[in-house]
């Protein structure tokens, strides 16, 4: 049991380190979004994806460790939160303290990652709106207004004024 708890603590430390790297990358992404540097954004996004893959692997390992601890304690793994595991370690105050500290750091780091990601999401949404506006503006500049050109029956001919001067030179 003690070795499982030590391995869990070690895994949580690794997971925390990866989440801190993810937070740094997310913070690095914010000015890139503001400046609209698409190439740099792609690089950062690729790095983020690699980190997320690492975090998923670490998370699977953590879940397996919690499952193993649940088997040893004869408890369901879903019932074993970090808080409950810390309570179980009441006779091992050093590990209990370390587990509680890791839980707090993980919680704070995840909240920070979420906050930065929400800000980045808002920036991306604004960028998309700007691109849509620019595309609409360019599209509307290429469209010409319909002029009041009529044929002999006084029906509108539907000709578009493209910018060249058109006038009837017949007199």
Count of C-beta atoms within a 10 Å radius of residue 18: 19
Token pair in block for residue 157: 């001919």
Average confidence (pLDDT) over 83-111? 90
Higher pLDDT, 67 or 139: 67
**Phi/psi of residue 160, each to 5°?**
-105, 140
Burial class (CB in 10 A: 0-12, 13-18, 19+), 166: exposed
Token pair in block for residue 113: 């990652």
Tell me, which fold does domain 2-123 have in CATH? Methane Monooxygenase Hydroxylase; Chain G, domain 1 (1.20.58)
Higher pLDDT, 133 or 24: 24
Contacts of 170 (CB under 8 A, 6+ apart): none
CA atoms within 13 A on the CB side of 71: 7
- The domain spans of the chain are 2-123
Token pair in block for residue 110: 């995840």
The structure's pTM equals 0.73
**Choice among 18-22, 76-80, 110-114 with the minimum mean pLDDT:** 76-80
Query: Is residue 168 helix, strand or coil?
Result: coil
Percent of the chain with pLDDT over 90: 46
Total number of residues shown for the chain: 171
pLDDT band of residue 38 (cuts 50, 70, 90) is: confident
Average confidence (pLDDT) over 40-46? 91
Whole-number average pLDDT of the chain: 85
Residue 169 has pLDDT above 80, yes or no: no
């Amino acid at each position: 049991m003690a070795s499982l708890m030590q391995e869990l603590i070690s895994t949580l430390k690794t997971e925390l380190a990866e989440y801190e790297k993810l937070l740094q990358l997310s913070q690095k992404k914010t000015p890139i979004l503001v400046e609209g540097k698409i190439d740099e954004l792609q690089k950062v996004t690729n790095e983020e994806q690699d980190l997320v893959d690492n975090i998923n692997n670490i998370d699977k390992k953590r879940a397996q460790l919690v499952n193993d601890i649940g088997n040893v304690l004869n408890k369901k793994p879903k019932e074993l939160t970090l808080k409950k595991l810390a309570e179980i370690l009441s006779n091992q105050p050093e590990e209990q303290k370390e587990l509680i500290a890791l839980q707090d750091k993980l919680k704070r780091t995840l909240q920070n990652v979420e906050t930065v990601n929400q800000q980045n999401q808002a920036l991306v949404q604004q960028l998309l709106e700007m691109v849509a506006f620019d595309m609409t503006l360019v599209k509307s500049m290429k469209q010409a207004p319909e002029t009041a050109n009529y044929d002999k029956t006084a029906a509108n001919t539907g000709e578009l004024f493209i910018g060249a001067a058109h006038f009837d030179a017949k007199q």
